[in-house]
Structure 1
């Protein structure tokens, strides 16, 4: 969510087409590639509302996934 728009365009090309073409016209095939992405989305909610003993309650889970 903080990445430069060009990064989003690169991922869009990889995820939509299964390949990436660079400025020189070279193509890399991503069809058999597993891409793992992470996010800090929900971190603020978790840290503000942690339950007793640092537990993530069901209510916190619901709030994050809404």
Structure 2
């Protein structure tokens, strides 16, 4: 049995990821919902809301890790 890498799938599907440690200027983004924390609850909530047609921004303190 192999596991599906949801992060790799999302990146391939066009997720926009911003690493705040690389920013040199302020940015403004708009969304219907902002979720702080991408753990099990935040990630699941974001998926449900996005599948319902809302634009969602996820804010996470840690790095984005995925396998290629």
Higher helix fraction (1 or 2): 1
The TM-score, its normalising length taken from structure 2, stands at 0.25
Highest relative contact order (Cα 8 Å, sep 6+), 1 or 2?
A: 2
The TM-score, its normalising length taken from structure 1, stands at 0.25
